Every structure is written in structure tokens, then in C-alpha cells.
Structure 1
Amino acid sequence: MAVFPPNVLCHIVDAHCHPTDSKIPVDSVERLDIKICAMSTHRGDQSLVRDLALKNPAKVIPCFGYHPWFSHQISLHPGTSKTDHYRGLFLGDGSQENAENTAIFDELLRLLPEPMDLDDVILELRQNFQLFSSSTALLGEVGLDKAFRVAFDYYASPRRLTPFTIPIDHQISILERQIDLAVELKRNVSLHSVKCPQATVDLLNNLKKRHGPQWDSIRVDLHSCSMNPQVVVDLQKKHSNMFMSLSTTINGRSNNLNALIAECSPDRLLVESDYNHIDHCTDKCIEIVKLVAQVKQWPIEEEWIDGTLPEDQWGAIRRLEANWKSFIAAESK
């Protein structure tokens, strides 16, 4: 599908992907025509993303953070035992305890790692960010998710799911600390939000209130956004730092993809692959670029014209590149 010439493709930025989730062939990054934002999600891939970016600084933007799917592995209370930590999350005050849930919990507990202290997570993130400038490392993937159920083995195929979800208050506590660090260090954010639009809106409004003018020193990307288009419109009106990226990988499953493209502010729209194999990131980005161009009625560049062009002569890729530059612009910070 990669039919665009290299001098056009090199202007595309994949705002969100997971290349370290798969084995990366030796020459894949060398052959990559686009630039990618490589997400980390849990304790095992922070160093993988860091090393990939250090070896390929021209093509890989590292993103460090802990995904809500792995937030149960983080403790808010130092010194809490493994059993007490997970019991508190999954069985709560005891109202959810019954013979079946207790048996499932006991089986799951044996497979779960010792929880990490949130302070240690924040320290690790800080150290990784210090290796990269503010425009070349993001906070991500982080966020909130009310739909996710904890699996016995996340990497098994098929996954065997438990009935347990991760309390949203726990997720919020972990997310707020990570975003507080992002504001302090002026790092942009790739934000996951699934089945919790109101919790996400409330969180963003609270962060804006708490951080004041400093909130506008970072940009937040609602990645593979699945919210109602009107919610996005309202968020972008209230938060001048709110962007949205879309993918065919995730948003292609939804009936509101075209509406999201149509309603999103044209200067705060990004594209992503949200793919876990680096060899397919380019094709997935081209898919979503073509759809964005169709819905927004933007032409697509067949060749790249160097230099400054009047905005009314911009094609879809030049517009999206300008949006990306605005997203990471140092002068806005």
C-alpha cells in the first residue's frame, strides 16, 4: 500500500504505535519511511522503547508511561504486601467475595508480579525523560479504561479473562501522578480513554484547574479516540492543548470514525497506526491519511514541494505535518 514516494512519506508521523510488542527485524527501522512514536505500557518495555530510540533517533520518538491495563501492578501505598494490594483492588471491602471469586483470585495471585511502588514508577519515568529533550520523548501510553478485564496471562492466546476490573479511582491516581510529571517536565501526552468519557473529561478539567497556565505548556493527544464526536468538540473548545489522533486499526471498528474526523478541529488532528509490528506502521498510517483526506476534502501530495507554500495549497500530509509540529512545538512551551 505504500505507494507514495519516499520524499512524501518522510513527512508522515505515526503518533502512536507499539513496535516493541513484536520482534523487530534488524533492517526494519532502516527501511522505515516514516517517523514513529513508540509507546511503552508496562515495566517490561520501558527499556525496550528507550533503547530503540537511542539507536534510531532520526526515526523513533520514545514514549514512556504505564498503561491502565497494567495499573493494577502499581501500589499507591509503599510496604503493602502483594496479597493485600491485589485483594484490595479485586475483592475490595469483601462485598465481592464469594467462593468463585475467591478461587479465581487465589489462582490469579500466584501469576501476578510483586506490585511496584508508584514513587518508583515516577522516578523511573523521570530518569528516562532526562535522556531525551522535551520534543523527542512523550508520556505514553497512559490513560483510563473501564472495559478492560484482567487476564490470567496477558500474553496467552487466546487470553483467559478473570471477572476482575481495575477500579477507576486507582487508575486515576496513577494517571494523575504521571501527568503531573509530564506538566513539570513539559512532556506531551498520548492518552488512552475507553468507555469512560466522563471520567476522562473530569480528569482533564481537574488537571487544568490544578496546574493553571502550566497546563497549556503541554499537549494531550486523545489517541485512537472513541469518544462521541461532540465530546471531542467540547474538549477542544475548553482545552486549547487537546489534540486527537485516529487509526484504522482501532477506529476502523467504529461507526463514528468519519464523524470524528469531520468534527475534529482541522489543526488539531493527528494520524497513527496503533500497530504492534513496525513493518506495517507505514501502510496503516497511509490508510488513515487517505480517509482523513477524503472526509476533510484535502488533496494528497503525489510529490513533495520544498519550501513554504500558501496554506490554500497544502495537501493532507503537509497539513498533518503542521499539526504534528504544533503538537510538539518548543516555542509553545
Structure 2
Amino acid sequence: MAAFPPRVLRHIVDVHCHPTDSPISAKSMEQLEISVCAMSTHHGDQSMVRDLALQNPAKVIPCFGYHPWFTHRISLRPVTSKSEHYRRLFLGDDAQPSAESASVFEELLPLLPEPITLEEVISDLRRNFELFSSTTAMLGEVGLDKPYRVAFDYYASPRRLTPFTIPLDHQLSILEAQIDLAVELRRNVSFHSVKCPQVTVDLLNKLKQKHGPQWDNIRVDIHSCSMNPQVMVDLQKKHHNVFMSLSTTINGRSNNLNALVAACPPDRLLIESDFNTIEGCTERCVEILNLVARIKRWPIEEEWADELDKGEWGVVRRIEANWKAFISGEILQEH
């Protein structure tokens, strides 16, 4: 695996990572040689991402959003009681759930936080975007996750899972409200989609029709994309504002990784670490860049030339150009 010298590393952007999931030292940030898009996921870490970006404006692009794994904590309407909210989500309208489901629910309920309303979520996002009104701050991480099962304690290791999933209709309502705000404020989106490709495609088609020309003012990155390569290609043909990013952290487990890199239009590909420590982000970005270079047959930069013909661009310069197109709203049209 080829390494990159410091002058080249400065041009790498990790478009999706979770550094606030772990303690971050000032020394680690000082030593960081790339830029990172730091994701938030739930009510508790929005401020952590905000503070990290305020302290390190040259290296951190803040991303504010509510991840599908935590959408059960959000109520679509005013909360009458914690019990009623979670009972409706996990047990539905079943007045007499099975003894097993009822038992699990009673054990889980005291461990769950008080729900917040979708109105509070949108207000919180708006405040954070207004604070970073002149930056590239994005909406993220948001999305859909069909198989995710709620844990008794998300932070326990190993996690003990319940049989409860979060209804997709609930996830969709929260996701659509967040993306509506992103369109209103012209904020790009880091999109999580797991095991629900058709639902994702249908939603993006709906949003394109709903927002009309405004839809093209934002960019959507399907992060650590796990879709079938042909589904992703078809999606990008219909939506010229949809990009795809890949990571060895997540996509390295999939047999689709090489095929996704090969199939993705060269101007719509981004890279990420999807890692949860700031110290690990650079290494994983270098890993995926090496893989992209090999599959796309792009050269790997051993130095950085200020002036270079496009035909001589290496993998870092090409991906950097894609990132600049992503944040500026341009499309390179290099199919």
C-alpha cells in the first residue's frame, strides 16, 4: 500500500467519520494531516461536533443530523408519555403483545431516554446550521436502516440486542423532514442506506419531484454504499446530484466493493474512513485511495505538482476535484 507525503495528504478529505465517538486530544488534532467531515448521530453529540469544528475550523467540516439507529428516540407528535411513545413504536397497536415481547419491552423501557419531538430536532439542526452559515457544514448522518435492532445499551460491549426494529415509516418521516430542511438551507447530505435500496430510490425520486429545481441545489452522498452496483449506477443517472463514498471500514466486508468502485462514474466518487477515532481516519482513507487507484487505474501521487494537465491527475487530485464539485454544486461530467 502506497503512503502519501504530507503535501499530498493535505488534499485528502474524509467525507464521513465519527471522531467524537472517542476522546480527542489537542495533539491528535494538531497531527491530523487531512480534513474530515465529522458526523453527529443523536441529540447528545450535536454539540460535540459543533465544538470540534469551532476549535478546528481548518480541518473539520461539521455535519449535523439524527442517525436512523436513534430515530426511535424521536416522536413525530407531542409526547404524552415515554411509555406510550415507545410502546407504539415497538409493540404497535397490539393490545395484547406476546409474553416475550411484553417482557422485553418492560426490561428495555427504563433504559431508554425520554423522547424528543421532531420539531425539537429540526429546530436544533437549524440553530447549528445558522451558526455555520458560511461554511460547508452538512446534514449527516441521516438515512434508513431496515434491519437495525435496538440494543438494551447501545454503548455496552458486547451489545445485547432486543428483537425490536424501528418502523421504516417512522424513519422515513424523520429523514424526510431533515432533508427538507437541508434543501431549504442548501446543505449537502451524508446518507446512510442499509438493506433498503428500493425505499431509498423511491424517497430520492419523491424528493426530486417535491422540491423541483431546488433539489439540484444540494448534493447527496450515499456513504459506505452497500447497494448493488447497477442500482447505484441507475440512481446516479437519474439524480445528477447523487455521489457515492466508500470505506474499507464498512465496504471492506463486502464482495461488492471492487464492483462499486469500477461501476461508479469517475466524477461521482468520494472516499471516507467511517471510523470512530480521529487517529484512525488518515490510515483508512489511504487504504481506500489505494484500492480506488488500482481499480480505476489512476496513478498515485508521490508528490504534489501545482500545475498538472488533467490527463496526468492522480487518485488524490481526482477525488479532491470530486469533493470540490460536491460542495460547490458543480458536476464534472467526466463519464
Alignment TM-score, normalising by the size of structure 1:
0.97
Structure-1 separation of matches of 2:160 and 2:95 = 24
* Worse overlay, 289-298 or 92-101: 92-101
Runs of at least 4 residues off by over 6 Å: none
Residue 327 of structure 1 corresponds to 326
Residues 209 and 13 (structure 1), Cα distance of their counterparts in 2 relative to 1, 3 Å cut: same
Residue 132 of structure 1 corresponds to 132
One-letter identity of the residue aligned with 1:258: N
Residue 108 of structure 2 corresponds to 108
Structure-2 separation of matches of 1:234 and 1:4 = 34
Structure-2 separation of matches of 1:74 and 1:81 = 13
Contact kept in structure 2, 1:69 and 1:148, CA below 8 Å: yes
Residue 38 of structure 2 corresponds to 38
One-letter identity of the residue aligned with 1:131: L
Residue 267 of structure 1 corresponds to 267
Contact kept in structure 2, 1:2 and 1:282, CA below 8 Å: no
Question: Equivalences for 1:116-127 in 2 at 5 Å?
Answer: 116-127=116-127
Structure-2 separation of matches of 1:3 and 1:221 = 26
Which runs of 5 or more structure 1 residues have no equivalent in the other structure? none
Per-residue Cα deviation, 1:176-230 (whole angstroms, up to 9, x for no partner): 0000000000000000000100110000000000000000000000000000000
Identity fraction in percent: 73
One-letter identity of the residue aligned with 1:306: D
Deviation at 1:136, TM superposition (A): 2.1
Contact kept in structure 2, 1:50 and 1:128, CA below 8 Å: yes
Residues 47 and 2 (structure 1), Cα distance of their counterparts in 2 relative to 1, 3 Å cut: farther
Structure-1 separation of matches of 2:95 and 2:220 = 37
| Count of residues in Structure 1 that have an aligned counterpart in Structure 2 | 331
Question: Equivalences for 1:241-252 in 2 at 5 Å?
Answer: 241-252=241-252
Residues 21 and 2 (structure 1), Cα distance of their counterparts in 2 relative to 1, 3 Å cut: farther
Deviation at 1:311, TM superposition (A): 1.1
Residues 314 and 2 (structure 1), Cα distance of their counterparts in 2 relative to 1, 3 Å cut: closer
Residues 312 and 2 (structure 1), Cα distance of their counterparts in 2 relative to 1, 3 Å cut: closer
Residue 25 of structure 2 corresponds to 25
Structure-2 separation of matches of 1:41 and 1:49 = 10
Residues 175 and 134 (structure 1), Cα distance of their counterparts in 2 relative to 1, 3 Å cut: farther
Residue 152 of structure 1 corresponds to 152
One-letter identity of the residue aligned with 1:324: W
Per-residue Cα deviation, 1:282-315 (whole angstroms, up to 9, x for no partner): 00000000000000000011000013x2210111
SS at match of 2:33: coil
Per-residue Cα deviation, 1:209-268 (whole angstroms, up to 9, x for no partner): 000000000000000000000010000000000000000000000001000000001001
Question: Equivalences for 1:255-294 in 2 at 5 Å?
Answer: 255-294=255-294
Residue 54 of structure 1 corresponds to 54
Residues 77 and 44 (structure 1), Cα distance of their counterparts in 2 relative to 1, 3 Å cut: same
Residue 315 of structure 1 corresponds to 314
Per-residue Cα deviation, 1:85-108 (whole angstroms, up to 9, x for no partner): 100100011178111110100111
Structure-1 separation of matches of 2:294 and 2:2 = 17
Residues 319 and 331 (structure 1), Cα distance of their counterparts in 2 relative to 1, 3 Å cut: closer
One-letter identity of the residue aligned with 1:223: H
Residue 162 of structure 1 corresponds to 162
Residue 75 of structure 1 corresponds to 75
Per-residue Cα deviation, 1:153-185 (whole angstroms, up to 9, x for no partner): 000000010000000000000000000000000
Structure-2 separation of matches of 1:13 and 1:212 = 30
Alignment TM-score, normalising by the size of structure 2:
0.97
CA RMSD in angstroms comes to 1.3
Establish whether residue 206 from structure 1 lines up as the match of residue 206 from structure 2. yes
Residue 302 of structure 2 corresponds to 302
Contact kept in structure 2, 1:69 and 1:150, CA below 8 Å: yes
Structure-2 separation of matches of 1:305 and 1:69 = 43
Per-residue Cα deviation, 1:23-81 (whole angstroms, up to 9, x for no partner): 11221111001000000000110000000000000000000000000000000011331
Structure-2 separation of matches of 1:147 and 1:303 = 44
Structure-1 separation of matches of 2:235 and 2:310 = 26
One-letter identity of the residue aligned with 1:310: D
Residues 203 and 24 (structure 1), Cα distance of their counterparts in 2 relative to 1, 3 Å cut: same
Structure-2 separation of matches of 1:152 and 1:2 = 42
Contact kept in structure 1, 2:12 and 2:35, CA below 8 Å: yes
* Worse overlay, 260-269 or 21-30: 21-30
Structure-1 separation of matches of 2:85 and 2:46 = 23
Residues 157 and 143 (structure 1), Cα distance of their counterparts in 2 relative to 1, 3 Å cut: same
Residue 175 of structure 2 corresponds to 175
